[in-house]
Structure 1
Amino acid sequence: MHDIFTAIYQRLSSITEGIGRAVSWLTLIMTLVMFTIVVLRYVFNFNLIFLQESVLYLHAIVFLLGAGYTFKANEHVRVDILYRTMSERKQAAVNLFGCVFLLLPMMVFIGIISWEYISFSWSIQEKSQEAGGLPFVYLLKSVILGMVFSVCLQGIAEIFRCLALLMTPDHQAPEDKQEAN
C-alpha cells in the first residue's frame, strides 16, 4: 500500500511540477513587458494601457497558478513554532489533518463562492474599464478556478505522501523513507 500511495503522490506532484515550471516562464515575460513599459514611458514618453494591464494579468496568473507548486515545494507561509521540532511522522500527521480538514475544504469553499463571480464575468464578457485595456477580464477571473485545481491537486498528492509516510514501518531505512518525499 505504501508503494501505491507513493506512486500516486509522485504522479499528482509531477502535474503540479509541470504547471509550476510552465508558469515560472511567465515571470520572464512579465519582466520583459515591464522593461518595455518603462522604456516606452520614460524614453519615448509613450504609454500603452494594455501593456500595463498585461503585467497585472501575468502577475495574477503566476501567483494563482503557482500556488500548488509553492505548496509542493513547501515554500508556503507556515507558523512552525511547534511543527519544526516534531518528528517526520508527526509532521506527516499534522499535514494530513491540515490537508483533509483545512486545505481541501477551503479550496472547495473558494471554488464555490467564486463560481458566481466568474460566471457573471463570463456572461457579460467583462472587459477592462480603461480605454485601450485588455478585453479579457473574464479569463483572468477564471484563473481563480485554476488556483483551486492546482492547490487541490497538490493537497491530494500531499495526503497520499503523508499516508505513505505514516504507513512506513518504523524500522525501515531513512533513505527509503526519503522516496516518499
Structure 2
Amino acid sequence: MSGLIRVATAIDALNSRVGRSVSWLVLAAVVISAGNATTRKLFNLSSNAWLEAQWYLFSAVLLLAAGWTLLNSEHVKVDLIYGRLPRRIQLYIDVVGTLLFLFPFCLITIHLSWPIVVAKFQSAEVSNNTGGLLLWPVWLLIPIGFSLLFLQGASELIKRIAVLNGKLADPADASDADDSIGKEHAA
C-alpha cells in the first residue's frame, strides 16, 4: 500500500503543478480579450485568431486543471445527503463513484476524442472562421485533460482505500480541526 500511496503523491504533485501553471492562462486570456476589444474599438480592427486564442486558453484552463480541481475537492457537488453521512460511508461512496462514474466517463471521453485529434492533426484542419487557428491543438486538450483527471481519480481512490484500511490519516479530520481552530480564533 505504501508504494501506491507514493504513486498517489506523485500524481497529486503532477496535477498540482499543471493546475498552478495553467491557471496563469486566465491572465493571458484576459489580456488578449482586453487587447482585442481595445483594437476593435479604437482602430476598428479585430481578429478571429485572437478570439479563438481566448477560447483555446479558457479550454486549456478548464480541461488541464480538472485534475487539480479534483485534488482540492473543488468540483461542484450536490450535497443533500452525503454531508450528513458518517465519514466511512462517504469514503465508500467516493470509491464507488470513482469506479462506476469517473473512470468510465474519462476512459470513454479519451477513447472517443483521440480519433478526432488524429484526424484533425493529419488534415491540418483550421477553424471555419477567416484567419482561424488550427483545430488539433485544442482538441488535444480533451484527451490530455481527461487523462489528468483519470490519474487524479486514481490518486483519490488510492487515498480513500488507504484511509478505509487505516494506512493513511483522513485529511478530512485535519480540515475539521482547522475549521474548529479558525472558529475559536474568530470568536
SS at match of 2:76: coil
CA separation in 2, counterparts of 1:83 and 1:104?
20
Residue of structure 2 in register with 1:15 after alignment? 14
Q: In percent, how many aligned pairs have the same letter?
A: 26
Residue of structure 1 in register with 2:143 after alignment? 145
CA separation in 2, counterparts of 1:180 and 1:69?
21
> What amino acid is the match of 2:113?
S
Residue of structure 1 in register with 2:86 after alignment? 87
CA separation in 1, counterparts of 2:49 and 2:170?
50
Residue of structure 2 in register with 1:178 after alignment? 171
Residue of structure 1 in register with 2:156 after alignment? 158
CA apart distance, 1:48: 1.7
CA separation in 1, counterparts of 2:136 and 2:82?
40
Structure 1: where are the runs of 5+ without partners?
A: none
1:127 paired with 2:149, answer: no
CA separation in 2, counterparts of 1:151 and 1:71?
7
Task: Give the alignment's TM-score, normalised by structure 1.
Answer: 0.88
CA apart distance, 1:89: 2.0
Higher relative contact order (CA 8 A, sep 6+): 1
SS at match of 1:43: helix
> What amino acid is the match of 2:96?
F
The alignment of Structure 1 onto Structure 2 pairs a total of residues equal to 174
CA separation in 2, counterparts of 1:9 and 1:179?
17
Superposition map of 1:38-77 within 5 A? 38-77=37-76
Residue of structure 2 in register with 1:167 after alignment? 165
> What amino acid is the match of 2:152?
Q
Is the 1:165–1:180 contact (alpha carbons within 8 Å) kept by the matching residues of 2? no
CA apart distance, 1:177: 3.1
Off by >6 Å, runs of 4+ in structure 1: none
1:97-148 per-residue CA deviation (whole Å, 9 max, x = no partner) reads 11112111111111111122222212211112122222x2111111111111
